Chains A and B, each alone.
Chain A
Amino acid sequence: MIKSVINIILILFCCTNFLSAQDELSRQLNFADNLFEEGLYFDAITEYKRLLFFDENKKYDFDINYKIAVCYKKGAKFDESIKYFSLAALSAQNEEDKFEINLQIVRLNILRKTTGRSLQLLNDLETKSNYSQKKEINYWRGWTYMFDDKWDSAAVYFNMVDYDHELKNIANRVENDKYSVTFAKVISYILPGSGQFYTGNYLSGIMSLGWTAIWGYLTADAFIDERVFDGFAIGDLLFLRFYRGNIQNAEKFAVQENIKISNKALRYLQNNYKGIKP
């Protein structure tokens, strides 16, 4: 009887120790996850890597590589993040996981502003996607175009997601608020300083108009008095210089104002938008 009890205890002891190996990995995963939740991403990566190293059965490969990638993303280490997402993709079990990973890589490309690459990846994804996935692809296309400062294209793609999508309305508003750079340049060709007036830079506009008027008059006066050399000298070195400068400034101010308008919208998206962001 006693012998049987001892045997049972010893057998239970064996089983417990074999099972504790798996418990150890689970505990390690919890530990690493806690570090992640606390925002200690560098340390979380250390513990995730430790788990990967001791996970001989590769049970946690996908999840851990995914989490390491997210940690690197939080630290703005985009290259490393993409690499670990790629590693996670290699151990993905199903198509949904692979799709999710690819979207994560798209989001990273949006954040690091390699928008060309982002669009290329989305185009590749679209060829293999189903209807609901296409909506997600268009959603991220919209974000890509917003980061690329192409708000009209962004509005088109958000419209495909939902006719009344909040981001579509924002994109349309930005596009309407922006100044036309071409228009600013054209009116500056016709009337120096008008491009600056169009964008609200009144002092610059008045001074541009003044200088081009003065040097234009002096150039004409020189030619009328048959002082050809003086006419060319004043015309080329002074009149044309300020005339060209006026057109450059018209373009520069329009571009600067447009960037301000875009940044206002992007700041709202970063700080106040409640939907899914890159």
Chain B
Amino acid sequence: MIRLIIIILIITAVSVNAQTDWQRWSAEEISYELKQTEKSTSNFYGSGFISSSVSALKNTYKFLISDLDGDNCPFHPSCSNFFQQSVYETNIFQGALMFADRFTRDLNIFKKGKYPQYKSGKYYDPVNNYKLSANEIIIIPSNQIVNQ
């Protein structure tokens, strides 16, 4: 009887997981290596004068201060990256206001449950949600983990 139950469970599980074979796949080598701790991203945004200036300022800040004062920002992207990306995707004035709003939200100690979690454990707070462009807002439930 137990054997029958085990067979039924396995067959059900196999059926449910048939989705694996809905696309042809080939052999894959799995790396033995351990995952490195995630390094803070430092993307270069844009080629215009203002974007380049902001990038240079941000990189200087990162080298002199951010890399040394520890991991203080609870968000992903970090506040400096958020500022850089905001300026790139909008303009310096809007970017500055977005950063001010982000900084204020960072001060709120009751953040838990408001934002989804990024894979690094930080709160996921993308720039798209604050550009005042309704079509670009990314809604992710707060109980989900963002892997991208």
Chain A residues within CB distance 8 Å of chain B: 39, 41-42, 45, 74-77, 79-80, 83-84, 86-87, 90, 111-112, 147, 149, 204, 207-208, 211, 241-242, 244-249, 252, 255-256, 259, 262-263, 266-267, 269-270
- Interface residue stretch chosen among B53-61, B69-77, B107-115, B136-144: B69-77
Which single member of A77, A241, A255 contacts B37 (CB below 8 Å)? A255
Q: Given the known A-B contacts A42-B21, A245-B70, are A80 and B27 also in contact in the complex, defined by CB atoms under 8 Å?
A: no
Residue of B nearest to A270 (CB): B32
B interface, over-half SS: loop
Assess whether A87 is in contact with B10, with CB atoms less than 8 Å apart: yes
Chain B residues within CB distance 8 Å of chain A: 3, 6-7, 10, 13-14, 17, 20-21, 24-34, 36-37, 64, 67-72
Assess whether A42 is in contact with B34, with CB atoms less than 8 Å apart: no
A interface, over-half SS: helix
Tell me the complex Cα distance, A90–B2, Å: 11
Assess whether A256 is in contact with B37, with CB atoms less than 8 Å apart: yes
**Interchain pairs with CB closer than 8 A, number:** 90
Could you pull out 6 A-B pairs where Cβ atoms are within 8 angstroms?
A42-B26, A74-B28, A75-B26, A76-B29, A80-B17, A259-B36
B4 to chain A, nearest CB (A): 10
A40 to chain B, nearest CB (A): 8
Tell me the complex Cα distance, A80–B3, Å: 19
A69 to chain B, nearest CB (A): 11
